[in-house]
Copies of this chain bind each other. A is one copy, B any other.
Amino acid sequence: MLVGVDLGGTKIQAVALDGTEVVAKKRLATPAAGGEELPAAIASAIRELGVDIDRVGIGAPGVIDVASGTIVRAPNLNVASTLPLTTAVAAALGISSADVVLDNDVNAGALAEQRLGAASGSRDALCVFVGTGVGGGLVLDGTIRRGPRGLTGEIGHVVVRDGGRRCGCGGLGHLEAYAGRRCLEDEARRLHEGGRQTALVRIAGDGRMKSSVFEKALDEGDEVALALLGEAVEALGAALASAVALVDIELIVLGGGLAGRLGAPFAARVDDALRARLFVPSLQVPVVPAALGDLGGAVGAALLAA
């Protein structure tokens, strides 16, 4: 059986895949200590699936060296230095490390959507995950494009307004600065400190401004939330128009924590914003919500192991 694992900052999701069907799934909390404790926790989640293991795929956030199966840097996982994950997981499971592969979690999620999800039937797909940050995976001719440095799909750092709002990476005017949850929170708190009232800060208090906070503030008709999400929609439209011009994509899948929470109406607004910016107005490039939800990353990791 193919096993896929989505290694996240708060949870480890494992699935067993029989052909295209998920036949077992198991979710565990990610060990808070992270780092060295991760391989054993991943192996536990896999063993609890209770299936015969043929090959294992793991998707992880951060900087991944696919060739060596190593996490190079992953602040969300408390991985301080390089972690040779495939070797360690294989050892914990008593299988060959040649049967374990590691890739970026957004690549895994994108492959899953292209093979079995919202983009099934398309040879090419751009999957954009709008959550704390904005990431993406690009499937071209049925294969994940990684690129020489494994950086393909970093649509969060596409420039939408040169010289504009500062991004977490330090750059100016990137998509993520307008559409990533963390940057939206920063902007909302800046506006609040400048004297603007907003339900975003009232609901979140001093805690993290989660996706659900944005949803509630929008439901209240909060002006700051409406304005910020309006800018996010326009920025997504611009970045996606650039992606279509550059690599000619037929379909865009929108997923991730924030986009998932805001659902189909949000995808429809981004679809409009993209359509208004296509350089060939008659082009059809639908923007559709991701279909696989929380399991997408793990399913994609299993597909990567195939």
Q: Which residues of A contact B (CB under 8 A)?
A: 123-124, 136, 138, 140, 145-163, 167, 169-174, 234-235, 238-239, 241-250, 277, 279-281, 283
Q: How far is the CA of A245 from the CA of B174 in the complex (A)?
A: 10
A247 in contact with B147 given A140-B140, A159-B160 (CB within 8 Å): yes
Q: Which of B149, B243, B245 contacts A283 (CB 8 A)?
A: B149
Q: Which of B152, B160, B163 contacts A247 (CB 8 A)?
A: B152
Q: How far is the CA of A250 from the CA of B149 in the complex (A)?
A: 8
The reply to whether A124 and B148 contact each other, CB–CB distance below 8 Å, is yes
Q: How far is the CA of A161 from the CA of B283 in the complex (A)?
A: 22
The interface residues of chain B lying within 8 Å CB-to-CB of A280 are 151, 169
Q: Which of B136, B145, B248 contacts A146 (CB 8 A)?
A: B248
Instruction: Jot down 21 A-B pairs with beta carbons below 8 A, ordered by A.
Output: A138-B247, A145-B247, A146-B248, A148-B248, A150-B248, A151-B245, A152-B247, A152-B248, A154-B246, A154-B248, A155-B245, A155-B246, A156-B245, A159-B239, A160-B162, A162-B234, A162-B235, A169-B279, A170-B281, A171-B241, A172-B277
A162 in contact with B245 given A151-B280, A279-B174 (CB within 8 Å): no
The reply to whether B241 and A159 contact each other, CB–CB distance below 8 Å, is yes
The interface residues of chain B lying within 8 Å CB-to-CB of A174 are 279
The reply to whether B248 and A246 contact each other, CB–CB distance below 8 Å, is no
Least distance between A216 CB and chain B CB atoms (Å):
28
Q: How far is the CA of A26 from the CA of B232 in the complex (A)?
A: 53
Q: How far is the CA of A258 from the CA of B140 in the complex (A)?
A: 32
Q: How far is the CA of A276 from the CA of B272 in the complex (A)?
A: 32
